[in-house]
Amino acid sequence: MAAEYYNYIDGEWTESDETFETANPAAPSETVATYHEADVDDATAAVEAASAAEDEWANTPAPQRGAILREAATILADRKDEITDLLIAEEGKTQAEAGGEVQRAIDIFYYYAEKTRDMGGSVKSASGPRTNLYTKNEPVGVAALITPWNYPIAIPAWKVAPALATGNTLVLKPAKVAPGVALEIFKALDEAGLPDGVANVVVGPGSTVGNELVVHDDVDAVSFTGSGQVGHMIYDKATDDGKRVQTELGGKNPTVVSDTADVEEAAGIIANGAFGTTGQSCTATSRAVVHTDVYDEFVDAIVAEAESIEIGPGEDSDMGPQVNERELEGTLDYIEVAENEGATLATGGGQPDEFDEGHFVEPTVFTDVDNDYRIAQEEVFGPVLAVIEVEDFEEALETANDVDYGLSSSIVTNDHTEAERFVDEIEAGVAKINDKTTGLELHVPFGGFKQSSSETWREQGDAGIDFYTIEKTVYDSF
């Protein structure tokens, strides 16, 4: 029997007149869960509840807030297996990917629970006598959090946990495609003793529910992760109202393969970055920028890597399905576009024959790609890799930077000078050496350059705390 989920407003799980269902992307005829769909009135009620709880939560000692986060993390850890199964069933990730994502959410809550012990400001030396000069950090207020489906528990966790740790109240709107695991966070918070109204969650359309969260007068900060088109619209609306805004958007992430690289290692790194999570990650490797001296060898190696991947349902495969029919069709459309532009389809490009249903697509590699092709410029959000040949390191850097995005990047090289130059000159918020573009540590800043981010505030680590706090300077001459 499919699970049933409700919206969580002012400490109560609330019903709605309208409901919708989610389906298993590996078996679309299978219903995973039924959701009560929020409307504008629900969004308004959630914001009002958060606003009413704002002062009491802000005045709660930070270690007490941390104790609730810690207990919520423990509850999530106790339920890790069932939450992992839900993530697999609703979003399509493999067992390893889903389990790793759930553990990341648990770790994030533990991390920010401990950070609450160190929430004070700083003490400075005053210029004159009898003056104590120091700073104190205060919460921004009510935060509206809007999250995507591709990391349906990790991204909500890295927004919710620092917001609560710093004394803010909040309303989360997760994507309707796979919201179940985000709601499990709120179940854990409720059981951990979070006061009513401090954290609320409404599941509904972005055009109505999401818009109400962005424009409501009682909302002080907006954090959005999703598409560039929506993100820019949200940024404009929220900043027009004077709200603090943080957006993390798309990517077109390169890995440069130097002529000094171990080609087999490079192919393994890039295959992991390109085809892991079925390419449905904003940090996925979508361009391999390869030195001409190792180009042919690399193409053979990456094709072999792609063809070795076992496709199937997440419980027992190397790569699961795309999340729904729309995403699958989008990927297949880009594959057709790439062929029409003149790129060579080296492997993949279609749907595997062995499945009667499911949104499966083959890991796909294109060669002979010019960097001005759409396949090299636009985010595909599927397991599609464009391989671009370059003559030297200078051209590799120029090609890597010649896109509108700047989220993640990497280089595979045995030349330390090249590695240092890459770090200095790549136009991306994340730069990795001899590593895949995907995979992030939770205690360091994350964000992009150019169209990948609002370039205002970073997420995770201390940067996550910075977004949700305002610093006050105190001159005490008592």
Kindly list the catalytic residues.
282
Alpha helices (H) along 116-222: 154-165, 180-191, 211-215
Point out which residues pair with 136 in neighbouring strands.
472
Alpha helices (H) along 116-262: 154-165, 180-191, 211-215, 228-240
| DSSP state letters, 310-345 | PBS-GGG-SB---SSHHHHHHHHHHHHHHHHHT-EE
Q: What is the DSSP letter of 129?
A: T
Q: What is the number of other CB atoms lying within 10 angstroms of the CB of residue 458?
A: 20
Cα separation of the two ends of the chain:
66
| Phi and psi at residue 371, to the nearest 5° | -70, -10
The sheet carrying 384-390 orders its strands as: 344-347, 364-367, 384-390, 285-291, 253-257, 408-412, 430-433
Can you tell me the distance from the alpha carbon of 321 to that of 91, in angstroms, rounded to the nearest whole number?
9
